[in-house]
Structure 1
């Protein structure tokens, strides 16, 4: 199904774009509104895709090996690379495996999602429980970015939703990938038009309340609001609902057929793990601050973000960085035969045999 790889590629483009324009949003209302418009849904959509291709059965020995090779080892490798990079650039480093560096939180979240899912699947109404967990964790200031736990539990409903859709065969039974009526496209475009309009017209309010941090699912309510209020969970419910609706609209607009970027969508983890090193010099040097006019620089950065995504997905880059992104580590296992014959992206992409 090319659809899922197309969706992965679109998601990773938005990830790179979001990180690329982050410095622009401090000086430009247009950039900030654009940022909010897609930050509301791009990681929820990514989590839904990952959940769709996850299994709730007790993990087999081979699946446990894959959790180590696909998630844990790349996390350790790239944390070490970040420590080295910060030591070179900043002259100091504070090694701490419990605090994921920049983008590595999602890799850790994928591992935790997989560990938690078999237990949630044993319960009645697992989707409801995941929502209660997401809303409830915001009331607990002691659940923070350690092991990315606050963010992971915040995004948990989207991952569980993806699994639930596959578990109950919803997509196939409703024929959601076989046929889309014209009104579905019209409705999706209308939703994004409303999304953009609200992001722009309310920009002063969104800046004042620092809305973007609500879409990170990373902070406790008391930190986001500067004080504790009982109704703060309603804000989390609202962000979950917005993420769900916009993710649905996003999936409606994704092509179902083979496209030039379909194959690139099978290697999103390469882009996810590598793009931050490409953007780091620009992010830290300040060259993306005070760029005017916005109508030139915002499209320029957007085009460059797509170019970076494509470049990091190409075969030469994968060949060069493969041992880091997808370490084999045969020496680590008692039974190397448990290692998979061919690798798949941790988000669930099934790659063709070489």
Structure 2
């Protein structure tokens, strides 16, 4: 039984699937799971904090850029508008309702909030806004530069806040636009045709880039804690909200954007170009994204990750995260949870719009 591709990061049906992008999707979503899995460990472990900074320097920007790569900038027709509803709006409402029940049971009182997304659900809201606004951005010159200005400027506005994830939506906009811009260039075709020697030379440079990043982080983790670099890499709150009310605070986000752009390209060059054992799993990233939190939540809330921990637990959580990503990408999981993640909802649309 065939399983359709992940809705939010779907590759156009009219094109042949490129294994490299499925590989990139799976690796990126696995890093997302790892980042969430080790969060509780970073308070007491410099090693965990260093790994966390390393992952957060690029994994969300990569995930957003890949989504942008497959986004369409054409004026949306009926089919595209329906896809936004079935692929993003309905899953958001379904999973936010589930989280509202969980929060209510835990608090012992009704806690229903569809305005402030729970945990990872901000990404669905952001995708809705990015997809709706992309046709307008595509009309203007210097769209990427404009998106960078919007991202940096939004950090000066505490009033933007997290309602409907607007803070992250604006902050991460440059990476969505970057991904869309990459689709306009023949870079993928050039890279796929590159000689083995060229590929490994480029990959050697990418390894150096990531090695330098790891070294810089490891040299003085307490300093990065003091500077609150983690909060910068979240691309979430306004600068004053985490202690930076100086006029130059925007340079922090600008630097984070520049670093992430370099790391996005470095990451993509390291992704296998050919079909791998996990290429098919890259078609299920939204299943992993939406479901992994229900696996991690009981562990995080149990307290077993609180307090000083051995680095062995860090390694264990990383390996466990990889296992989660693999299992949640399997056809059986996708078949079971498809009504939640990919609701077709044909009943919802007017008869004239069906077909």
TM-score computed with the length of structure 2 as normaliser? 0.91
Residue 144 of structure 1 and its aligned partner are, at CA, apart by 0.9
Whether the 8 Å contact between 1:65 and 1:338 is mirrored in structure 2 is no
Q: Which runs of 4+ in 1 moved over 6 A?
A: none
d(CA) in 2 for partners of 1:4, 1:150 = 28
Maintained 8 Å contact 1:213/1:224: yes
Q: Secondary structure at the match of 1:194?
A: helix
What RMSD over aligned residues (CA atoms) do the two structures have, in Å? 1.3
Q: Which residue is equivalent to 2:216?
A: 198
For residues 3 and 241 of structure 1, the distance between their equivalents in structure 2, rounded to whole angstroms, comes to: 24
What is the CA–CA distance in structure 2 between the aligned matches of 1:225 and 1:302, rounded to whole Å? 31
1:178 aligns with 2:175: no
- For residues 158 and 44 of structure 1, the distance between their equivalents in structure 2, rounded to whole angstroms, comes to 6
- How far does residue 135 in structure 1 lie from its aligned partner after superposition? 0.6
State the match for 1:327 in structure 2: 343
Equivalent position SS for 1:266: helix
Partner of 2:23: 6
Q: Quick one: distance in 2 between partners of 1:254 and 1:154? A: 26
Tell whether 2:119 aligns with 1:102: yes
1:158 aligns with 2:175: yes
User: What is the aligned counterpart of 1:211 among 210, 213, 229?
Assistant: 229
What is the DSSP-based 3-state SS (H/G/I as helix, E as strand, rest coil) of the residue aligned with 1:23? helix
Tell me which of 332, 338, 346 is aligned to 1:316.
332
- CA change 1:181–1:168 in 2 (3 A) is closer
Is the 8 Å Cα contact of residues 28 and 62 (structure 2) preserved in structure 1?
yes
Q: How far apart, in 2, do the equivalents of 1:159 and 1:171 lie?
A: 17
Larger CA deviation: 330-339 vs 150-159 = 330-339
**1:142 maps onto 2:159 in alignment:** yes
Question: Mean alpha-carbon deviation: is it higher for 146-155 or for 207-216?
Answer: 207-216
Q: When the two structures are aligned, how many residues end up with a matched partner? A: 335
User: Is the 8 Å Cα contact of residues 24 and 282 (structure 2) preserved in structure 1?
Assistant: yes
Task: Summarize deviations over 1:255-277 as a string: whole Å, max 9, x none.
Answer: 01111111111010000000001
Equivalent residues in 2 for 1:65-104, closer than 5 Å: 65-104=82-121
Structure 1 residue 330, shift from structure 2 partner:
1.1
Q: CA deviation at 1:338?
A: 4.0
C-alpha separation in 2, matches of 1:215 and 1:29: 17
Paired position in structure 2 for 1:270? 287
Q: Is the 8 A contact 1:291 1:297 kept in 2?
A: no
Q: 1:233: how far off?
A: 1.0
* Runs of 5+ unmatched residues, structure 2: 1-17
How far residue 64 of structure 1 moved from its aligned partner, in angstroms, is: 0.2
For the Cα contact (< 8 Å) 1:264–1:314, is it kept in 2? yes
SS in 2 for 1:108: helix
Where do 1:220-231 residues align within 5 Å?
A: 220-226=238-244, 228-231=245-248
Structure 1 distance, partners of 2:153, 2:193, is 38
**Correspondences of 1:116-127 after superposition (within 5 Å):** 116-127=133-144
Q: Contact 2:29–2:325 at 8 Å: present in 1 too? A: yes
Contact 2:103 2:111 in 1 (8 A): no
| Secondary structure of 1:177 counterpart | helix
* Residues 330, 336 of structure 1: 8 Å contact kept: no
- CA 13–50 in structure 1, closer or farther in 2 if over 3 Å, else same: same
Aligned equivalent of 2:319 = 303
CA contact (8 A) 2:100 2:113 kept: no
Aligned partners of 2:80 and 2:137: how far apart in 1?
18
Which stretch of the first structure deviates more once superposed, 195-204 or 146-155? 195-204
**Structure 1: gaps spanning 5 or more residues:** 340-354
Cα 1:336–1:193 change in 2 (3 A) is: farther
Partners of 1:323 and 1:80 in 2: CA distance: 14
Q: State the TM-score, normalized to the length of structure 1.
A: 0.92
Q: Please say if residues 78 and 353 of structure 2, whose CA atoms lie closer than 8 Å, have aligned partners that are also in contact.
A: no
Report the Cα offset of residue 92 of structure 1.
Answer: 3.1
Aligned to 1:350: none
